[in-house]
Amino acid sequence: MSRRTLPFLKKLVPGVRSTMITSRSVTYMPRPGDGAPRAVTLIPGDGVGPLVTGAVEQVMEAMHAPVYFEKYDIHGDMKSVPPEVIESIKKNKVCLKGGLRTPVGGGVSSLNVLLRKELDLYASLVHCFNLKGLPTRHDKVDIVVIRENTEGEYSGLEHEVVPGVVESLKVITKFCSERIAKYAFEYAYLNNRKKVTAVHKANIMKLADGLFLESCREIASKYPSIQYNEMIVDNCSMQLVSKPEQFDVMVTPNLYGNLVANTAAGIAGGTGVMPGGNVGADHAIFEQGASAGNVGNQKLVEQKTANPVALLLSSAMMLRHLQFPSFADRLETAVKRVIAEGKYRTEDLGGGSTSQEVTDAVIANLD
């Protein structure tokens, strides 16, 4: 069908370059039975979460993707994740999450962090890249930030020593540092990436970040074809805003990863468009890459102008993870086309459309 519609479409849309419409001959060879529908746990979450997950559901429906969602309703202010949700994720192995808003200083630990620890999703990945047609101050950005997700500053071990003096423990272990370094280098190898940068503050936190760096160096020696360098986190943030093209894959402990990922997402176009996910040995949760500022934003909820692009691109990553690469390609192409055209863009990208309009545009642009 695509071969017949291809020249027809080209006539209809004169400005579109041929590189954007991909016509594939069969390169993926599935096993018989791979087309059986897969169950995916869906957690809409708080705030804009339901809006954006709704968008994904609509698009999946339109594509007739062999995926069906098991929806669970949890909110950020719950004390813990209900066991049936954990069971479902353990069964399905893949989950798509909108966003859970953690109340600030409220005595409730973040459910996002709890989920990650419970399922041992130790790597968080955010892919920040320039999208064609989206004007940003920086171009040539193509950074993948791989962040250790379980320990570091987010151990949650705090106590009040005496009134007015509080201590918080940052824990770094060789085990966790090694596995995140392994994941980072393996990712770089599998995705043809040339350089891995370790981000740290070992000049001040000599033992903690020193241990992290040691693990990275050990693993780096096993991948001689991949360039490895180290950069202190404050210098790194400075370089990110002035010369982001020097970065390729970045591996960081927990807190720095959060900052670096959000900064990289900001320079490449905003957190509304960057895909990402959390992955562990057995499970994966896909969500908006860098989720700063979006989940609890009431205005976006009321006006229904949340940007669904990030979650749509993350669901494309999810489709590839589930081994439905052709559907993933179609989805990604459609989204990129919508962004490039520029007609339907939500507020954070400088447009005025609602989430629904963007979703409809994506569906219309599906091959």
Partner 1 sequence: MASQIVRRIARSSRSKYASLGNPSLLDRSCSQSAASNSNLIRATLFPGDGIGPEIAESVKQVFKVAEVPIEWEEHYVGKEVDPRTQSFLTWESLESVRRNKVGLKGPMATPIGKGHRSLNLTLRKELNLYANVRPCYSLPGYKTKYDDVDLITIRENTEGEYSGLEHQVVRGVVESVKIITHLASLRVAEYAFHYAKAHGRERVTAVHKANIMQKTDGLFLKCCREVAEKYPEIKYEEEVIDNCCMALVKDPSTFDVLVMPNLYGDIISDLCAGLIGGLGLTPSCNIGEGGIALAEAVHGSAPDIAGKNLANPTALLLSGVSMLHHLNLHEKADQIHDAILKTIAEGKFRTGDLGGKSTTTDFTNAICNHL
Q: Where does this chain bind partner 1 (CB under 8 A)?
A: 102-107, 109-110, 113, 137-138, 153-154, 156, 158-160, 163-175, 201, 204-208, 210-211, 233-235, 237-242, 255-256, 258-259, 261-263, 265-267, 270-271, 290, 292-293
Token pair 């791989």 in the structure block, residue: 146
Axis-axis angle for helices 174-190, 208-222 (nearest 10):
40
Distance of CA 83 to the CA centre of its chain: 25
Q: Please, which residue, 67 or 261, has the CB nearer to partner 1?
A: 261
User: Which residues fall within 8 angstroms of residue 223, CB to CB, at 6 or more apart?
Assistant: 185, 188, 189
In the complex, minimum distance from the CB of residue 282 to partner 1, in angstroms, rounded to a whole number = 23
Q: Please, which residue, 133 or 293, has the CB nearer to partner 1?
A: 293
Q: Please, which residue, 153 or 329, has the CB nearer to partner 1?
A: 153
Token pair 């940052």 in the structure block, residue: 170
Contact 210, 177 (CB under 8 A): no
How far apart, in whole angstroms, are the C-alpha atoms of residue 140 and residue 112? 31
Contact 318, 66 (CB under 8 A): no
How far apart, in whole angstroms, are the C-alpha atoms of residue 187 and residue 179? 12
In the complex, minimum distance from the CB of residue 317 to partner 1, in angstroms, rounded to a whole number = 21
In the complex, minimum distance from the CB of residue 101 to partner 1, in angstroms, rounded to a whole number = 9
In the complex, minimum distance from the CB of residue 143 to partner 1, in angstroms, rounded to a whole number = 13
In the complex, minimum distance from the CB of residue 304 to partner 1, in angstroms, rounded to a whole number = 21
Q: Please, which residue, 54 or 272, has the CB nearer to partner 1?
A: 272
In the complex, minimum distance from the CB of residue 119 to partner 1, in angstroms, rounded to a whole number = 18
144 bridge partner residues: 127, 249
- DSSP single-letter state for residue 246: G
How far apart, in whole angstroms, are the C-alpha atoms of residue 365 and residue 296? 30
Q: Please, which residue, 34 or 139, has the CB nearer to partner 1?
A: 139
Q: Please, which residue, 108 or 340, has the CB nearer to partner 1?
A: 108
